[in-house]
Amino acid sequence: MRHRKYQNRGIQAFAVLLSLALFPAGCGEETMEIREPEEEVTIPIVLTVDSSTGIKNEEALILAFNQMYEGKWQAEVEWIMETEEEYRQNLKRQNVTDTLPAVITDLRMLPSFYQMMIQDERIEDLSACITGDEEWMEMIEPSVLDSCSEEDGRIFLSPISTAAFSCSGVFWNEELFAQAGIETFPATWEEFWECCERLKAHGITPLALHTEGTAWAPMLFATAEAASTKEGEAFMQEFYPDSYQNESGIRIADALKRLFQYTTPDALYADFDVSYENFFSGRAAMIPNGYWMIDQIPEDWQEKVRFSAFPENRLISSPETFGWAVVSSYSDEVKEGAVMLLKLRTQMNLEQREELFAQGAEELTPAEKDYIETYRQNPGLVPNYQVKWNSILQEETLGEILPLLAQGQMSPEEFTEREDESIRQFLLEQ
């Protein structure tokens, strides 16, 4: 689909020194000091291997944890070559068969499943673990903690430290832009569409897109464009919208249809890995994605890939999608180790931010310099549609109707009608 989460770049395991503070056993109400197990305890976790690059996601975290707690706890990872959609569907199956790992990722990308896991008491309330640990709390930006908290204050998703690595914008090929006589990334949406026309006129495909999964790349563009209006900005804040047959819903559909006029012939019925390949083979000039893709830029592309906010200085960000959960069915010894892994993750994320933002310009790639500058300019943040819209729309409907819209076989009005059908189906299944 879109990416993998942030990579722990350049952080050494022994740079992180965590104290064994007071934690709840299993994160219950009464606190106690974490017990060091008599024998080494294994913490099962499933993580993915990036299909585009072969990178083991979160490997630096796992290596750091296992070195730090050797003889006490060890994270035992099953590395899988799956898309994020496949991973999430497997979570649902593993929940039914009670074979979930002790630590699960991506849960907030499945809003209804996440709520069900809370209601069924399948994941731990981490509130006492986090808020009762002053050291941990100091690592977390308030906005990130808020995004991972329920309305009643409970925390089921262990947060990263900063929103600095959760933002998505546009990566663009400086050489292809130069061939079309374009020196800078467009600042407005009118300029963006003019940029696409100019690239196309010079024989350059403007956009690397796809329709499978949750249509991550085109939906980033379309929802960012919709949020450029007050009505659209408010619509993107809605959780489970009642309808898409409104001004903002039609605007998103119109933008999607228009975007596919500027992409590669193989964009239909393809997933993000195809878009990635099209961008990094020079077949397309722009691809939207988040900070994490900086780690996936091939070495020989480092100097020509740039990063910008979406037009109107907007980034898409939902830090809660980076939160990890602890499964309740495991023993206290496993859960206590899992909590230590989560705290280490927060610490490493904090150190990553400090390390990156402290580097001189000569130490950074162009995309890194662009990202830091963009983040420091206080861009408007648009919520990720994947934490706002129902799962049927994302996982089934979009893949069916987006190719039809892109090919002119379905109107924007018909597109939004089908989106509303997904709402009715979703409500019936709840």
User: How far is 286 from 275, CA to CA, in rounded Å?
Assistant: 10
Residue 384 pLDDT > 70: yes
Which tokens belong to 128? 């006492």
* pLDDT score recorded for residue 37: 66
Q: Are 113 and 207 members of one domain? A: no
Residue 6 lies in a domain: no
Find the helix packing angle between 247-259 and 398-406, rounded to 10°.
60
Residue 15 pLDDT > 70: no
Residue 191 lies in a domain: yes
Residue 306 lies in a domain: yes
**Structurally, how many domains does the chain consist of?**
2
- Identify which has the larger pLDDT, 143 or 190: 190
Residue 364 lies in a domain: no
Q: Are 305 and 157 members of one domain? A: no
Residue 29 pLDDT > 80: no
| Mean pLDDT of the chain, nearest integer | 90
Residue 370 lies in a domain: no
* pLDDT score recorded for residue 8: 42
Confidence of residue 23 (pLDDT cuts 50, 70, 90): very low
Range of the domain at 121: 13-165+319-358
Residue 371 lies in a domain: no
Radius of gyration of the chain from its Cα atoms, rounded to whole angstroms = 22
Residue 7 lies in a domain: no
Q: Are 210 and 148 members of one domain? A: no
Q: Are 230 and 204 members of one domain? A: yes
Q: Are 63 and 117 members of one domain? A: yes
Residue 250 pLDDT > 50: yes
Confidence of residue 33 (pLDDT cuts 50, 70, 90): very low
Q: Whole-prediction pTM value?
A: 0.79
Residue 388 lies in a domain: yes
Q: Are 346 and 384 members of one domain? A: no
Q: Are 90 and 223 members of one domain? A: no
Q: Which of 299, 328, 358 is the last residue in one of the domains?
A: 358
Q: Are 216 and 293 members of one domain? A: yes
Residue 3 pLDDT > 90: no
- Identify which has the larger pLDDT, 318 or 277: 277
Q: What is the DSSP string of 315-366?
A: EEE-GGGG-BEEBTTS-HHHHHHHHHHHHHHHHHHHHHHHHHHHS-GGGS-H
* pLDDT score recorded for residue 7: 43
User: How far is 258 from 268, CA to CA, in rounded Å?
Assistant: 14
User: How far is 243 from 253, CA to CA, in rounded Å?
Assistant: 13
Q: What is the tens place of the pLDDT at every residue in 100-142?
A: 999 999 899 888 899 999 999 999 999 999 999 999 999 999 9
Q: Are 74 and 202 members of one domain? A: no
Q: What is the CATH number of the domain that holds 283?
A: 3.40.190.10
Q: Are 89 and 31 members of one domain? A: yes
Residue from 158, 123, 128, 124 nearest 29 by CA? 128
* pLDDT score recorded for residue 43: 98
State what percent of residues in the chain have pLDDT above 90: 78
Q: Are 224 and 250 members of one domain? A: yes
Residue 363 pLDDT > 70: yes
Residue 414 pLDDT > 70: yes
Q: Are 292 and 382 members of one domain? A: yes
DSSP 8-state symbol, 149: B
Among the ranges given (5-14, 47-56, 331-340), the one the predictor scored with the smallest mean pLDDT: 5-14
Calculate the alpha carbon distances from 166 to 134, 157, 360, 381 in Å: 24, 15, 22, 11
